Structure 1
Amino acid sequence: MLENHPSLRASAADAFRRLGCREVLEADNSGEALRLLQDRGPVQVVLCGLWLVGVEGLAFLRRSRGLVESVILHGWSPPELRQAALQVIRRVGLELLGEADTPLQPELLRELLGKRSHAAPQPNRQSFDCPVESAVRKGLTEGEFTAYYQPKFDIASGSVTGVEVLARWRHPTRGLLLPSDFMPVIERCCWWDELLFALLEQGLALQSLLKSQGYPLTFSFNLDASQLAVPGLDERVEARVRSHRLPSSGITFELTETAPLEHAAISLDNMARLRRSGFGLSIDDFGVGFSSLQRLCQLPFTEIKLDASFIRGLGTHPTCVAVIESTLVLARMLDMTVVAEGVETRAQHRQLLDMGCTQGQGFFYSESLTGLELTSRLAASHPVPVG
C-alpha cells in the first residue's frame, strides 16, 4: 500500500486484511515502497495513491517491474496525470485491476481483487522471479548479454533508416531472456554502464560492418537518466566510437522521458558535450511524462520518439491524432525528426503516412533481429509491406 495519508492508509490496510490478504505492507512514499519490495520480495497487488502520480510516482511504477503483479489506483488526480500513470502501467506490463475513490469502499475493493483472482487463481510467481544479483553480474562479466536490433523504417519507401539496440540475456540454463526478466536487477544495482558498454561494443562492430557493405544505418542506444549524472560519459563513449572509426553523427542516444534527471547541472553538461561531439539525442516515450515541452526547450534533442500509446489510439481516439499532428508540426519548427513507436497495423502505417510522419518502428515493419538476421535482411533487400 502506497498512501501518504495515515488515516486512509490505516483504513485501507484494515480492509485488505478483512478480505483475507495474508500480508499487507505499508509505505508513505515511493522510496520506502521500493525498499520494502526489494527487502520482502514481490507482491501481488499495490494500492497506489494517485497523489503520487508525478515524477516520483511514475518512477516508482517504472521501477516496480518484476516486483509487482497488479495495481489499483486510489484517489483523485488531474486527468493528464492519471493518463500518464495508465500509460506507464501498460508499458511496464503491470495488470491494472481498476481505480478506487477515497474513502476506499470494501465492496469495491473485493470486486477489484476478485478480478485478479478470476484471471489468475494461482499466482504465477515465475513470471516475476528476477535472477539474483550474482547471476546478472556473472552474465555481464562473461558476455552473456547480447544486442538485438529493432529496425526503424522510412514510412514512405519502406527502407531501413536505422536500428534501436536492445538488450537480451542468453542465460546458460534459462535460454533467451527479455529485459523484463533482468532489468529490475540492473536498475536496483545501477549497472546501466556495464550493460550500455557491452551493447555499445557489439552495436558499433555491427555498424562498422554494415557501413563497409554499403548500409550506413544510424544506431540508437538507450541511456538511463542516472548515467548522465556522472561526469565524463561523453569521453568514454567517444573513445569507443573512435576505436571503431565511426562518425558520431551515426549514433543516437535515447533518453526515456519519464525518468527524472539527477544532478541537473552535470546531466545538462553531459548532454551538451554529446551533442557538441556530433551524437544525436532522442527523447523517448514522448508524451508520457510531464516535462516534454520543458525538456525540448532546455535540452539539445535532435529526435522525438512518439510513445506507442498514441499510435494505438489512431482511429479510435481523436485526441491521439491531435497529439501526433501537433508533435509533427513542433518537430518541423525545431528541425527535429519524429519516430512513431509501436506501429503494428497497416491502417496505422497509412494514417501516419498521410499525416506526414516520416519514420516508424514496430512489429508491422519488423520484430527485433539478431545481427546476422539484420545483415541478411539488408542484403536480401526484402520489400517492407507498405501501401
Structure 2
Amino acid sequence: MRATVIHAPHDIRVAEVPDPTVRMSTDAVVRVLRACICGSDLWAYRGESARQPGQRIGHEFLGIVEEAGADVRLRKGDLVVAPFVWSDGTCDFCAEGLTTSCPQGGFWGSVGSDGGQGEAVRVPFADATLVKLPAEAAGDDRLLTALLALSDVMGTGHHAAVGAGVKRGSTVAVVGDGAVGLCAVLAAKRLGAGRIIALGRHQARTDIAKLFGATDVVAERGEAAVDAVRELTRGQGARAVIEAVGTEQSMRTAVEITRDGGAIGYVGVPHGSGTGLDLGVMFDRNIALRGGVAPVRTYIPELLADILNGTIDPSPVFDRTVGIEGVPDGYRAMDERTALKVLVTL
C-alpha cells in the first residue's frame, strides 16, 4: 500500500509500505477515506522534532473498517473516525476522560506505529479508540470533511476553550489563526461566548474566524496586539484566552491579554527554548493556566452530535485538497503558508 513517510527535514515521500494486519484480537484495520496534514506535522518537516528516516507520519484520518479482531464489536464496513491517540478505554486515565495519558496508548506516526497519511491503518484497541459514524456520511463530501476535523483540530480547539473556562457570555481572545485557533473560535461560539477576539494577520484566515463567530479581529502582534485587545476590553483584557501557537511570543501575548482572575487554555504544541511564562506575573494577577494535549476521544461524541445536526461546521479550515501522491506538495504549501490545512483524499 501507499503511505507517507519522512526521511529528513523537507523530505516527505509517498512510498510502498507493508499492508497493515490484525495482530491482536482488539485490533482493526481501517481503509482510509480522508486524512490531512496538521500544523504540528510541520515541526518534523522543518527538522524541529526528531524522526527516523522512513518513519510513517500523520495522525488524522477517518475511513472504513476492513478487518476486525475477534474481540472487536465494530464490523467490516463501518465508517469510523480516529482520534490522534489510541487508548485502551479501561485504565484509570481513560475512565477520567484523559485518554492521552493511557499507559497503553500511543500516537499515530510514532516509532513502530502506522501513520494516518496512508491508504490503511492498523488501530489498536479499536472499540475504545474509534468512533462509529453514520454510514450515509460516506456519500457526503462536505460532511466527511467536517467529520475529519474531529480527529484533532475541532477537539483540540474545544479543549482550549474548556481550559480557558469559556461559558455563556464570556469575552474570549484567541491567539493563533491556524486550524486549531480557528476551531477554538468555533468552540468558543458553541459554548456561548458573547465576544470573541481573534488575533491573526492573514485575511483569508480571519475571514474564517468571522464565519466561525469572531466579533473582532486584531491584526497586530506583540505589544501592539496587547494594546489593541486591552482597548477592546476597557483596559482589562479577556477573561478567557486561548493560546494555539506554542511559541514564547504567543504565550507571552496570551498572558498579557488575560484579565486578572482569568484563565489561559493552551494547546499550541510548545517549541523553542523559552515558555513566555512569568509565574510571578501570573501569581500576582491570579491567572490560571490549563490545557495541554487534547483528549480528543473524550470530546468526539458531543462534537459529533453538533456536526450532524448542523450546529457547527469546521470544514472551512480545509482549504486545499490533494490525493495521496500530492501529500509532499501539501507539506510545502502549509510550510510556505499558502495553505491553511491540507485535506488528503484516498
Provide TM-score, normalisation by structure 2: 0.32
Q: Which has the higher contact order (CA 8 A, sep 6+)?
A: 2
- Per residue, is there more strand in 1 or in 2? 2
TM-score (norm 1): 0.30
